[in-house]
Structure 1
Amino acid sequence: MEKELVFGHQNPDTDAIGTAIAYSYLQNKRGFNTEAVALGKANDETAFALAKFGFKEPRVIKTAANEVDKVMLVDHNEPQQSVADIDQVEVTHVVDHHRIMNFNTTMPLFYLAEPVGCTSTIMWKLYQQYGVEIPQNIAGIMLSAIISDTLLLKSPTTTADDHEAVKALAKIAGVDYEQYGLEELKAGTNIAGKSEHELINLDAKSFDLAGKKVRVAQINVVDLPEAMERKEAFLQAMRTVSEAEHYDLFMLLITNVLDSDSTALVIGSGEAQQAFEQAFGPVKDAEISLPGVVSRKKQVVPQLTGAFK
């Protein structure tokens, strides 16, 4: 059987990388020939989880068509978030928990999307459906993905399925998910050693909202006031990237993982900023407090989509 690559979105997080690893293992057990790869280097949190459960970081690819004819996608479906030459390969499988947008194929495919907190929760159910035993290390990386995406089950995206998956996977992985979860989340909050440019691109996604090019980035911290000391430097980095990439709006969501509150820095054209304020309220000095907002997928993008329309 010809080889297929399995990967998550650009600027990968723990779900994008962890679920790619888990899906590749599952598909290989089912007779496919796959390799889990990544569309970017693992962040600190993901690197912590990979090391904890004995994985090497997947190799990073820029293009896929030079290697394979077919690919499998996890944790995304929008072309602008995928590999650069996604239009030159056949997508055979998608497992995702995001909205479906601008996604078209010429051939039938396996497509599974569920409104749960993490793609690895769907993957956990797929293992049960196909009767494939989950190894300890695979359980660990899937658990890590769910902890990451749901902020240790505190995000409003969290469902009953996520709770059930976390408990089951933690048992297989042999860890206390609450203790390990705090360690994992804290591992991803060290921003002191990174430049503002690195941080605003670490976990960022682009969206086409009613013809406007919108960039939403997010960083997790445990000390919000310390992060906000770098406000002007963040804004300058955002302006530089926006000018180069022609973004109509750039939003940086700075989330305190301990209290589940966020502050957003926002820059953009007058029309785009007006749409943002319609969704979230007045922005003062390029800053707005967003108590309880932690999820880009559920608490940011849908609201912006409605406002831009």
Structure 2
Amino acid sequence: MSNKELVFGHQNPDTDAITAAMAFSYFQNQLGYETEAVALGEPNDETKYALDHFGMKAPRVVKTVANEVDKVMLVDHNEPQQSVSDLDKVTVTHLVDHHRIANFNTAQPLWITARPYGCVSTIITELFQEKHINIPANLAGMMLSAIISDTLLLKSPTTTDHDREAVKYLAKIAGVEDYEKYGIDMLKAGTNIAKKTDNEIVDGDAKTFELGGTKLRIGQVNTVDLDDVFSRQADLEKEMHNLMDQNGYETFVLMVTNILNSDTDLFVVGDHTDTVEKAFGKKLDNKRMNLPGVVSRKKQVVPPLTDAFEG
């Protein structure tokens, strides 16, 4: 095997998972490493919009990595259940993330940068700046898109001043004059609910969490009209039950987020619905609960659920 390393984000990749892999791979190659950005799934409609807009190709999709390389670099995730299935067969040499660190340990020391920013592409922007390495215009456009995606146009509570600075900096390099207009067009491109299957809606952006011995699947779908999603509630519920049976999730929580007014309806299926109610201090009505101002799984949904399930 060569010394080549693969760089990738989490399963069900979003715009940041795909972009951060592309950006960190480019960055490491400038430092003399031999890396290739890959993905653990196909890009979603939002990411495709950005790739088309900036004339870039999506990284190739891999199912396993140990058949190709001995070493890998992780971006935008660290929890093994969100990573490639054979992660335990390779050495992780680098990690760049903005999530909690959980169930992650290595046999070897590694280069790790974890910062509580709104987006990994923001962290990588600063890494480029620290090393005085220029970011190509089209890659800067993708990184801009990733930050807009992860922070919902800088409206999410995960947004930091670092993200705001990076957006201005990257928009300039990418030649995007009105990043808000571009951002709304991109976010809308990702919300074409009519085009999505039931599976894509409930599981297209979902992650598994083990909280207090309970296996939760937490998905999120963005929309510009909640009714576009809930007009299909019975079918979506059926799909959630299918996935629970196949994968042993005890509870399935779907965040249906309106990106125009930053509200979320939580749709909850399975066991422990009382614990979910306790987490948010609200009752479910027809398996739904309205959470005004909630847009972030990481900051506004996982922490209260963690407290409720582990407390």
1:213 aligns with 2:215: yes
Q: Please state whether the residue corresponding to 1:83 is helix, strand or coil.
A: coil
Q: Distance in 1 between matches of 2:71 and 2:193?
A: 37
Q: In structure 1, what is the equivalent of residue 120 of structure 2?
A: 119
Q: In structure 2, what is the equivalent of residue 41 of structure 1?
A: 42
Q: In structure 2, what is the equivalent of residue 72 of structure 1?
A: 73
Q: Please state whether the residue corresponding to 2:222 is helix, strand or coil.
A: strand
Deviation at 1:199, TM superposition (A): 1.7
Deviation at 1:260, TM superposition (A): 0.5
Q: In structure 2, what is the equivalent of residue 167 of structure 1?
A: 168
Q: In structure 1, what is the equivalent of residue 189 of structure 2?
A: 187
Deviation at 1:198, TM superposition (A): 2.2
Q: In structure 1, what is the equivalent of residue 254 of structure 2?
A: 252
Q: In structure 1, what is the equivalent of residue 83 of structure 2?
A: 82
Q: Distance in 2 between matches of 1:195 and 1:140?
A: 29
Q: Distance in 1 between matches of 2:94 and 2:274?
A: 38
Report how many residues are paired.
307
Q: In structure 1, what is the equivalent of residue 275 of structure 2?
A: 275
Deviation at 1:108, TM superposition (A): 0.4
Q: Distance in 1 between matches of 2:200 and 2:150?
A: 20
Deviation at 1:274, TM superposition (A): 2.0
Q: Distance in 2 between matches of 1:198 and 1:259?
A: 23
Q: In structure 1, what is the equivalent of residue 231 of structure 2?
A: 229
Q: Distance in 1 between matches of 2:218 and 2:169?
A: 33
Identity of aligned pairs, percent?
60
1:203 aligns with 2:205: yes
Amino acid corresponding to residue 157 of structure 2 in structure 1:
P
Q: Please state whether the residue corresponding to 2:194 is helix, strand or coil.
A: coil
Unaligned runs of at least 5 residues, structure 2: none
Deviation at 1:226, TM superposition (A): 2.2
Q: Distance in 1 between matches of 2:309 and 2:3?
A: 43
After TM superposition, what 4+ stretches of structure 1 lie above 4 angstroms from structure 2?
none
Q: Please state whether the residue corresponding to 1:134 is helix, strand or coil.
A: coil
Task: Report if aligned partners of 2:10, 2:17 keep a CA contact under 8 Å in 1.
Answer: yes
**1:85-142 Cα distance to aligned partner (Å, 9 max, x none):** 0111000000000000000000000111111100011000000111111110111010
Q: Please state whether the residue corresponding to 2:60 is helix, strand or coil.
A: coil
Deviation at 1:275, TM superposition (A): 1.6
- TM-score of the superposition, structure 1-length normalised? 0.98
Q: Please state whether the residue corresponding to 2:10 is helix, strand or coil.
A: coil
Amino acid corresponding to residue 131 of structure 1 in structure 2:
H
Q: Distance in 1 between matches of 2:226 and 2:58?
A: 29
Deviation at 1:169, TM superposition (A): 0.4
Amino acid corresponding to residue 299 of structure 1 in structure 2:
Q
**1:53-104 Cα distance to aligned partner (Å, 9 max, x none):** 1111111000000000000000000000000101110000000000000000
Unaligned runs of at least 5 residues, structure 1: none
Q: Please state whether the residue corresponding to 2:193 is helix, strand or coil.
A: coil
Q: Distance in 2 between matches of 1:66 and 1:282?
A: 49
Q: Distance in 1 between matches of 2:56 and 2:123?
A: 21
Q: In structure 2, what is the equivalent of residue 130 of structure 1?
A: 131
Say what the alpha-carbon RMSD is for the aligned residues. 0.9
Q: Distance in 2 between matches of 1:7 and 1:197?
A: 23
Deviation at 1:205, TM superposition (A): 0.3
Task: Report if aligned partners of 2:194, 2:228 keep a CA contact under 8 Å in 1.
Answer: no
Q: In structure 2, what is the equivalent of residue 52 of structure 1?
A: 53
Q: In structure 2, what is the equivalent of residue 178 of structure 1?
A: 180
